Amino acid sequence: MQNQLHADVSETGVGPSREPSAQDQKKLDRKRWLRKLYGQRHLQIMALLGIVWMIIFNYIPMYGVIIAFKEFNIVKSIGEAPWVGLEHFKEFFSDEDFTNVMRNTLGISLLKLFIGFPLPIIFALFLNEIRSVRYKRTIQTISYLPHFLSWVILGGILMTWLADIGIINNILLALNIIDAPITYLAEPKYFWGIIITSDIWKELGWSAIIYLAAIASISPEMYEASTIDGAGRFQKMWYITLPSIKSTISILFILAVGGVLNSNFDQILVLRNSLNESASNVIDIFVYHTGMQNGRYSYAQAVALFKSVIAIILLLIANQVTKKLNDTSLF
């Protein structure tokens, strides 16, 4: 330690007879920082590439947001497009599809939040209680697999299963639950249930990974002490496991609330059709059809910007609520 101190002092030209001045200390700290930066140069270069990628593809395109306040035409540049102010926002609020779009978006998203968010937690809690390592790994593998398949593939599987002669109808007919085959994707009343159920099926195992990782970090001594006190498995889950992972749950809940208006565009685009349009027309689909198919880029951008603003507001509210309830927040 003394040798390091003498070496650091000698680098600044200050003799051992006196303490370094404030200016010399700053120079010394700067040299230490440069040495540390050089020692981490490979990691810094990797991080720099990620930052450059984010600036190019995430921040520079933000300039295009201003077309929400203009009447943009692809023939002219963004700068040449005339300003229209909030006209596109007013048009969206008075659009005949506004009520239906918002109802479908909020309905699907809130149901996914209230049903789909707690299920991975419950799944992780019960999976953690399985003592057989082989059986536990088998369940994990089976539950993870759907996550790695795209919605194009899963959508094709679901459309086959839900067809008139699909496996779902065959099972229900064999059990005498229904009298005649049902074309589920042609009935708007079934669409929300199909979307929510299939989303849970695809993401349940994958969403539980982070909770399993948090549970694995809990000290085994806490469980051993509770066993000595006579606590059962459910008591351990309620009084030890859940309180220990509440910060993880809070952070993921904040992120889930911030994305509550994201109804999973890929999933709905694959499963929707003209027959279930009244139940499948969400904000993302509305923006896609308005912008890409109808060529109304400014109007579509205004709707997308409205969605982003609402998402930020919900994120801030959820962050403040969780901060007051259990002192956990993103910022």
Residue 84 is assigned to a structural domain of this protein? no
The answer to whether residues 119 and 162 belong to one domain is yes
The answer to whether residues 178 and 53 belong to one domain is no
The answer to whether residues 6 and 103 belong to one domain is no
Residue 217 is assigned to a structural domain of this protein? yes
How far apart CA 190 and CA 183 sit, in angstroms, is 10
Residue 144 is assigned to a structural domain of this protein? yes
Residue 292 is assigned to a structural domain of this protein? yes
Residue 205 is assigned to a structural domain of this protein? yes
State pLDDT tens for residues 99-150: 999 999 999 999 999 999 999 999 999 998 888 889 999 998 999 899 999 9
> Which of helix, strand or coil describes residue 321?
helix
In the prediction, which pLDDT does 20 show? 67
The answer to whether residues 167 and 23 belong to one domain is no
Q: Are 29 and 11 in contact (CB under 8 A)?
A: no
The answer to whether residues 50 and 177 belong to one domain is no
In the prediction, which pLDDT does 6 show? 47
Residues 6+ apart with CB under 8 A from 314: 257, 258, 260, 261
Per DSSP, helices labelled H in 40-86 are 41-54
The answer to whether residues 121 and 165 belong to one domain is yes
pTM of the model: 0.80
Of 28, 47, 65, the domain-final residue:
65
Q: Are 283 and 303 in contact (CB under 8 A)?
A: yes
Residue 114 is assigned to a structural domain of this protein? yes
The answer to whether residues 245 and 208 belong to one domain is yes
Please check the confidence at residue 167 and state whether its pLDDT lies above 70: yes
Residue 82 is assigned to a structural domain of this protein? no
Please check the confidence at residue 189 and state whether its pLDDT lies above 90: yes
Rounded to 10 degrees, what is the CA torsion of 35, 36, 42, 43?
-160
In the prediction, which pLDDT does 14 show? 47
State pLDDT tens for residues 276-323: 999 999 999 999 999 988 889 999 999 999 999 998 998 899 888 888
The answer to whether residues 109 and 196 belong to one domain is yes
The answer to whether residues 189 and 274 belong to one domain is yes
> Which of helix, strand or coil describes residue 225?
helix
The answer to whether residues 123 and 56 belong to one domain is no
Give exposure, 107-138, as e/b (b: 16+ Cβ within 10 Å).
Answer: bbbeebeeebeeebbebbbebbeeeeeeeeee
For 153, other C-beta atoms within 10 Å of its C-beta total: 12
Q: Are 248 and 265 in contact (CB under 8 A)?
A: no
- Range 41-65 average pLDDT: 91
Token pair, residue 24, equals 């010399």
Q: For the chain, how many structural domains are there in total?
A: 2
Mean pLDDT in the chain? 88
Give the residue numbers spanning the domain of 34. 2-65
The answer to whether residues 219 and 114 belong to one domain is yes
Using alpha carbons, select from 261, 287, 301, 295 the residue that is nearest to residue 88. 301
